[in-house]
A = this chain, B = another copy of it.
Amino acid sequence: MRTMPDATRDEAVITALVAALGEKAVLTGAERPARNASDWSTLGPQPALAVVRPTTTEAVAAAMRICAAHGVPVVPQGGLTGLCGGARPLPGAVALSLERMTGIEAIDPASATMTVWAGTPLQVVQEAADAAGFLIPLDLGARGSCAIGGNASTNAGGNRVIRYGMTREMILGLEVVLPDGGIVTTLNRMIKNNAGYDLKHLFIGSEGTLGVITRLVLRLFPKPACTLAALCALPDYASVVGLLAAARRGLGPMLSAFEVMWPDYWETIAMTPGVRVPLPHGHAVYCLIEAQGTDETFDAPRFEAWLEAQAEAGLLADAVLSRSLADVKTFWGVRDACSEFPQVLGPHEPFDIGLPVAAMDEYVRACKAALSQRLPGAFALFYGHIGDGNLHIVAGLKGASPQPKDVIQEVVYGLVREFGGTVSAEHGIGLTKKPWLGHVRSEAEIALMRRLKAAMDPNGVLNPGKVV
Contacts and interface: CB of A to CB of B under 8 A. Distances in A.
A47 B447 CA distance: 36
A205 B194 contact: yes
Interface stretch (A2-10, A36-44, A162-170): A162-170
A425 B188 CA distance: 11
Given A191-B389, A422-B190, A425-B194, A178 B109 contact: no
Nearest to A84: B194
Interface stretch (A26-34, A272-280, A335-343, A434-442): A434-442
Interface in A285-334: 292-295, 298-299, 301-302
Contacts of A250: 294-295
B424 A194 contact: yes
Interface in A122-152: 133
A182 interface: yes
Contacts of A433: 195
Interface stretch (A12-20, A91-99, A196-204): A196-204
Interface string A43-82: 0000000000000000000000000000000000000000
A250 B298 CA distance: 12
A139 to B, nearest CB: 15
Interface of A: 108-112, 133, 154-155, 157, 161-163, 165-166, 168-169, 178, 182-186, 188-199, 201-202, 204-206, 221-225, 241, 244-245, 248-254, 292-295, 298-299, 301-302, 354-358, 385, 387-390, 420-429, 433, 437, 440-442, 444-449, 451-452, 454-456, 467-468
